[in-house]
Amino acid sequence: MVGALALAAVACGSTGTAVVETVAASDAAVLLEGDPAAVLLDIRTPEEFGEGRLEGAVNIDFYAADFAGQLAELDRDATYVIYCRSGNRTTAALDTFRDLGFTSVHAVEGGIVAWEATGHLVIRG
């Protein structure tokens, strides 16, 4: 699955300046609407992902032993929007993205909880 994601992300270009940041859920929604090539990553567990997710999200488990290895297979110049349940894992994951040289990563502040609280769609089941 990660291989296909990497291929899908190849078309995205570099911004020239690395942006690895936390953004409000509403700003993440605007970013996703404005950049259809942006890759949406859910870094929760597969069980959490199965309970509910954002439309179009791909799951890469933050707690997986090979989390950094899975990220290393992705296009570092693509734009990524990442989220977890409440924001704690995404905050920790930003360091990994930064260390691996990703250039455009936006973590949803407050995670899927904030996303849903602001009225955005969550796919259940």
pLDDT tens column, 27-58: 999 999 999 999 999 999 999 999 999 999 99
Could you tell me the pLDDT band of residue 13, with boundaries at 50, 70 and 90? very low
Question: Is there a catalytic annotation at residue 12?
Answer: no
Number of domains the chain is built from: 1
Write out pLDDT tens, residues 60-92: 999 999 999 999 999 999 999 999 999 999 999
Q: What domain range is 70 assigned to?
A: 2-124
* CATH number (domain holding residue 79): 3.40.250.10
Give me the catalytic one of 40, 84, 107, 112: 84
The length of the chain in residues reads: 125
DSSP state of 102: -
Which run of H or E residues covers position 113?
helix 111-117
